[in-house]
Chains A and B, each alone.
Chain A
Amino acid sequence: QVHLVQSGAEVKKPGASVKVSCKTSGYTFTGYYLHWLRQAPGQGLEWMGRIHPKTGGTDFPQKFQGRVSMTRDTSISTVYMELIRLTSADTALYYCARQKYAFGPYYFDHWGLGTLVPVSS
């Protein structure tokens, strides 16, 4: 059974950074892209990028380039997302999600429960 377990909520101040983890189990970690998405309070979903756990290769939408990084630790089947220079607009629930097929389109069949990151002075 596939599980994605995310780290706990973190309160941050403007200008700070946050690093969220997503520990996976129940499938071959290196076989599937993992993506990060976020959802601001009461709002829709926004894609932040993806990482291939085997190669470490990443790609990000232009909006987040230069401000987000994604890494992985294959020894513990965990991926990380770090977002720097936080502002109040980054207050959101951050999700990791598994791309359904190893290669191909980006749609997501398993999701973590989310990590809440409020940004406030």
Chain B
Amino acid sequence: DIVMTQSPDSLGVSLGERATLTCRSSQSLLNRSNNESSLAWYQQRPGQPPKLLIYWATTRESGVPDRFSGSGSGTHFTLTINNLQAEDVAVYYCQHHSSPPITFGQGTRLDIK
């Protein structure tokens, strides 16, 4: 199974600043058929189910603010949140959507500093 590792485990960022979250995979997630990487990001606010933010590493889900952006390829990925807002406090998970079984990272908890 592909192992997903996120860093840091927790992160405090001031309102209006930028948050940078990292995810690494134990194998390349590059899909040869479309030259994109099979990586999704989710936001899970307290007491809520996860919410899809990004898929194919860089494609923003409909309705997600453009403050959220995904980057990276292969085995190293980043979720960047610009202009941090109070409602961004959550745990963020990366997930590979390459061949099953799909697996998730352990999560990064994002708080306001």
| A interface, CB within 8 angstroms of B | 44-47, 59, 61-63, 95, 97, 100, 105-109, 111-114
Contacts and interface: CB of A to CB of B under 8 A. Distances in A.
Contact of A61 (B40, B95, B100): B100
Contacts of B50: 45, 95, 108, 111
B38 A105 contact: yes
Interface residues of B, number: 22
Task: Give the residue among A44, A61, A62 with the most B Cβ atoms within 10 A.
Answer: A44
**Contact residues of B: prevailing secondary structure:** loop
Nearest to B104: A45
8 contacts: A44-B104, A46-B104, A61-B100, A95-B50, A105-B97, A106-B97, A107-B55, A107-B97
B100 A95 contact: no
B102 A106 contact: yes
B105 A44 contact: yes
B77 interface: no
B106 interface: yes
B106 A47 contact: no
B10 to A, nearest CB: 13
Interface string B89-113: 0000101011011111111000000
B55 A105 contact: yes
B105 A100 contact: no
Task: Give the residue among A45, A59, A100, A111 with the most B Cβ atoms within 10 A.
Answer: A45
Nearest to B39: A107
B52 interface: yes
Nearest to B1: A61
